[in-house]
Structure 1
Amino acid sequence: WHEQKGTDEEPECSICYNTYDNVFKTPKVLDCTHTFCLECLSRLMAISLADQDGTGGTTQLYCPFCRHPTLLPKEGPPALATSHEVLCKLPIHQQQEESVWLEGEKLCYKSSKQNRGSGPPDSPTAFCICIDIGGSKTVAAPVQTRRRTSGVMGRLSDWKRMILFFVLMVLLVVVVLWPLQCVFSTGNMRCMREPIQPSPTAISSTLIPLTRVFDPKG
């Protein structure tokens, strides 16, 4: 995948999905021939430097696609080779690469445009535009905090689901299973057996012996 683009007319970077231009989004080619914009590669470089903790040494960029290392020039990503194949597909006014340099944790570009507010119409006014590409490790701290928080919330959600499941099981037993057990065991929904009414024959057989015992003529 040597070239990343959205359409044939507007090729775009596969990291940020922004269309290429001839300034901060200049298409730069890594040693593996994969192409990305200058700004994204500069941010990757800043992150790599932050991971090294200032130990020094040569900076290498690892391709986000194939992980092949590219040795960075001393001037940083702006000194990487530019994909003129991609530049030729840009609008005519963007096909000429502008000078962009690395200044600390910033990418800078000096532009000269016509001053419309004062002076002769043909007098250019130069100004400098810089964007921050900082790769400090403190940027990753809120992400880790959010992950820890999400883990705690996930455990709380698990407890809530367990409690809800337990309550549903209790309701199932009370509302459905218990009445069914009563129906099968007692024949009614109240789980109370009806008292057995003694028959008249049993009452007579019980009273007759008592009468004989207390008969004064006996």
Structure 2
Amino acid sequence: MFITEELECVVCCYDYSRSDRVPRVLHCSHTFCALCLEKMSRLAGPIRCVSCPLCRWITCTPVSLTLSGALWVNTEIWDQIPDEQQGGMQDAVEDLNITKTQLIKITLPDSRRSRFISKVQKMFSCGLGMDAC
């Protein structure tokens, strides 16, 4: 099995994620994403059952718990999932930079704006390396 195949759910063929497609382990030790497990689960009175699509072992959990609350996360796969927060954080920083620029344009007159922006740029360039200062 290739490493990329190990990082995707064999039911839906989507990559596991740290948000909605969390890799959850059934009692038979097979792993699937939380969304697929929810779709495959069946209510049987006070219990929820999931039949493993690979070996047909039936995993049962109490209805009082969600499947995500009742089943363990496969930590071997979890540790290999790229950190999604990094991409989201980069987008947030870019949005913040746009907002800062818009605020500077609104609050500072033209003559002071360019001096302020150059000081801010110099301040941030100092963090990149000591040679820039």
**TM-score of the aligned structures, taking structure 1 as reference length:** 0.36
The aligned length equals: 89
Alignment of 1:72 with 2:61, yes or no, is yes
TM-score calculated relative to the size of structure 2: 0.56
Aligned CA RMSD, in angstroms, stands at 2.7
Q: How many Å separate the matches in 1 of 2:78 and 2:92?
A: 25
For 1:87-134, what per-residue CA distance to the aligned partner results, in whole angstroms no more than 9, with x for missing partners? 11111x149xxxxxxxxxxxxxxxxx84947xx87xxxxxxxxxxxxx
Partners of 2:55 and 2:19 lie apart in 1 by 26
TM-superposed deviation, 1:36: 0.2
User: Which has the higher relative contact order, 1 or 2, with Cα contacts under 8 A spaced 6 or more apart?
Assistant: 2
CA distance in 2, matches of 1:88, 1:94: 12
Q: Which has the higher helix share?
A: 2
Query: Structure 2: which 5+ runs fail to align?
Result: 86-90, 101-133
Counterpart for residue 59 of structure 1: 48
Partner of 2:33: 37
The 4+ residue runs of structure 1 with deviation greater than 6 A are: none
SS of 1:43's equivalent?
helix
* Structure 1 residues 38-60: Cα deviation after superposition (integer angstroms, max 9, x where no partner): 00001112xx23xx5xxx23121
Larger radius of gyration: 1
Unaligned runs of 5+ in 1: 96-112, 122-218
Mapping of 1:1-218 within 5 angstroms?
Answer: 7-9=2-4, 11-45=7-41, 48-49=42-43, 56-73=45-62, 74-79=64-69, 80-91=71-82, 93-94=83-84, 114=92, 116=95
Give 1:62 shift.
Answer: 1.2
Q: What one-letter code is carried by the residue in structure 2 that aligns with 1:59?
A: R
Q: Within 2, Cα distance between the matches of 1:68 and 1:15? A: 16
User: What's the secondary structure of 1:72's corresponding residue?
Assistant: strand
